[in-house]
Chain A
Amino acid sequence: MKLREQLLFRCLAAAGLLLGLFGAVLLASSFDLQITRERTALETRSDDLANSLESSAVNYALQGIPLTDDLLVSVLRQLDPNAGLYAPDGSSILNASSPMSSDGITMNGQMLQTVRPVHLAGDEYHLLITADLSPLYASRSALLGGYILIYLAFMLLFSVFMLAIARRITRPIENLARISLNISEGALNQFVPEEGSCETIEMARSFNRMTHELTNRIERQKRFIADLTHEMKTPLTAMIGHADLIRSGRSKGEDAMISAHLILSEGKRLNALTARMIELILLGQEDFEPIPVSVQSLIEETADSLRHAAEQAGVKITTSHGGGAIPGDPVLLRSLLTNLTDNAIKSGASSVHIGSCLSGGYATLSVRDDGRGMDEESLHRITEPFYRVDKSRSRAQGGAGLGLSLCAEIARLHGSMLKFQSMPGKGTVVSLTLRGEEDDEA
């Protein structure tokens, strides 16, 4: 059953019951109050009539006039033509039906009647007064008819109103369900309208954010796969071509050796590319417990490992550090710094400086070179997988364009991001700021 229908049915049921209860209580209590008022009024009237009758009887007695039934009837008719009187033996003297009911007020159909004792000349007579309540009953019947009309009209209006409200409430949810279905069928670029109440607007925003992020990720993955395919296709084509030359015997002697060398070097590059790919994939699933990593060790070990390669490339590596430790994964951080330094060495620099400083609880690692530098566009794309600033040189140096993607991913895992400062022809500074702490020894 739809949420809209549930809302409508439940609200209608609750409104019907509540209105019914309200109407019942109102009608019953109002009628009860009216009956009580009539009872009180009748009793007061009965009191007054008894007083008047007795006063008259006393007056006759004081004047020595004997009090006969005829005289009583005459007096009572003057006082209240509708009143009745019972003789001391219970028989009717005037306007009273036998047998006499007990003293008090009795509901008899739509009539209210009072029987009360009245003492006349030493005897106990009983006075009967009735009140016709049929106007009250008629008024209540009219009210009941009015209630039914009001109830039907209210429920009709309420149904329309609740239908509109239910539609308004459930429209965002229905939109969400429809768009989710479309997305699941492949139509990614769809967004939920941000309308309705605060909650539904927030839900739509979150959903749209999620869709946007999902779309971006899928796009990145597509681009990544396309780049990867392209990267693998080029060496594979070269390898197939040279292997075919050797197999067909068209490449012999020194040419065969060159072909074999090319197959080997392209094979190594594919191997390196595969290793980086695995690293990148693994990083996406990384979940590590950070441990304190000494900044000094990190910098010195990185410099030492690359010093030989740097000397061969005619690059001088210098280091400086402000001490302290960084909470993180030592292997990943070493990989990050090695990649950045390796890139700096390959940038045509004459010197590369690896440094750090600790300030305000944060440690900043930086790799500075005086190489070729990068333009503004390259800076924006530098961390994209397979992006190379200088494609021919990079390929010749065995690069796949994945190093900085790896670095950016490692920085993200440590809750930070790479910051690039570069000018063409002047060199590049890559820095990374992480939460740091003082060395215990320091």
Chain B
Amino acid sequence: MTSRKWIALLLTLICFLTGLFLPALTVRLQDIHLSGSHWPLNHANGHYAYQGTLLNRVLALNAHLNSSPALFLTNREPADIPSGIIETLNAFLPVSVDHYEAAETFTLVPRQYAAEYRYAEAIFTGENYSLTVIIDEETGLPLRIELTAEPDIISLYLNENGLWGSLTKYANTLSLGELADGPTGISTLIQSQSAQIRGTQLGVTVTAMPSAGTLLFKLTGSVSP
């Protein structure tokens, strides 16, 4: 065999072995390159841009209404509310809601946290009722509905639906899930029924004072240590 043939054979063998082991070599080099690699986070503080969970906002609203020092209120200003809320209210309230008289938004900020929770508050009045609704701006859900009407209207409504029926109507409006049984409290002056929404830390409560002509629906939340 000539020397040229030997050289050609050798080169072919080198190319053959290169083709055989090149992927393994590349993979090894890739491992060396990857070992100890460090990549910065795309959005190190990105999670602060959120508006909180519904539970956060429910807890914040209820804490605010209970004058809790854990948060403070900012930015109360006039605003419009979604027109769909009137249809929602007419669907389960004993009065015919027409239009809101005043509406404004407000923001709650938990102390020591960068989150902000926004709500809208609307006041409706009619000949025989007065209605205050607080709506979660993020989801559009009515978190709190407080109706003041003639006692007969409230009594008739309660007689027709009962506390559980009223609660169920409100829960259906929220569309957050099925209700589990909850405690019922009845006294001569105040009737109250609460229920957990199954699988969540959220609950709904209806409180009625027929003699005073008030009916209160609210979404509640709780966490335990």
Interface residues of A (CB under 8 A from B): 1, 5-6, 9-10, 12-21, 23-28, 31-32, 35, 39, 43, 46-47, 50-51, 54-65, 71, 74, 101-109, 114, 116-119, 121-122, 140, 144, 147-148, 151-152, 155
Contact = CB atoms under 8 A, between A and B. Distances in A.
Specify the main secondary structure of chain A where it touches its partner.
Answer: helix
A107 B37 contact: yes
B19 A62 contact: no
Given A12-B12, A28-B30, 19 more contacts: A13-B16, A17-B18, A20-B18, A20-B19, A28-B23, A43-B41, A51-B47, A55-B52, A55-B53, A55-B55, A56-B223, A58-B110, A61-B110, A62-B56, A103-B40, A105-B38, A109-B35, A116-B41, A151-B19
B112 A20 contact: no
A43 B22 CA distance: 33
A359 B146 CA distance: 124
B219 to A, nearest CB: 14
B8 A147 contact: no
A116 B214 CA distance: 49
6 contacts: A20-B19, A26-B23, A32-B30, A59-B221, A119-B48, A122-B112
B197 to A, nearest CB: 16
Contacts of B225: 60, 65, 71, 74
A59 B38 contact: no
Contact of A62 (B4, B11, B59): B59
Interface string B156-174: 0000000000000000000
A106 B56 contact: no
What bracket does the count of chain B residues touching chain A fall in?
A: 35 or more
A252 B42 CA distance: 136
A47 B41 CA distance: 10
A152 B21 CA distance: 11
A54 B114 CA distance: 10
Contacts of B25: 24
Interface stretch (B63-71, B90-98, B132-140, B205-213): B63-71
B12 to A, nearest CB: 4
Interface of B: 2, 4-5, 8-9, 11-12, 15-27, 30, 34-48, 50, 52-53, 55-56, 59-60, 63, 68, 70-71, 110-115, 221-223, 225
A113 to B, nearest CB: 10
A323 B38 CA distance: 102
Contacts of A109: 35
A47 B43 contact: yes
B8 A27 contact: no
Contact of B47 (A6, A54, A62, A140): A54
A118 B222 CA distance: 23
A118 B113 CA distance: 11
Given A9-B11, A13-B15, A1 B4 contact: yes
A101 B4 CA distance: 59
Contacts of A16: 12, 15-20
A58 B16 contact: no
A424 B37 CA distance: 108
A54 B113 contact: yes
B148 to A, nearest CB: 28
A12 to B, nearest CB: 5
Contacts of A31: 27, 30
Contacts of A13: 11-12, 15-16
B63 A62 contact: yes
Given A58-B110, A59-B56, A60-B225, A105 B20 contact: no
A43 to B, nearest CB: 6
Contact of A5 (B8, B15, B68, B71): B8
Contact of B38 (A5, A32, A46, A106): A106
Nearest to B29: A28
Contacts of B70: 61-64
Contacts of A155: 16, 19
Nearest to B117: A58
Nearest to B9: A9
A271 B15 CA distance: 75
A53 to B, nearest CB: 9
A61 B36 contact: no
Given A39-B39, A106-B36, A107-B37, A5 B26 contact: no
Q: Of residues B22, B23, B56, which shows the largest number of chain A Cβ atoms within 10 Å of its Cβ?
A: B23
A65 to B, nearest CB: 5
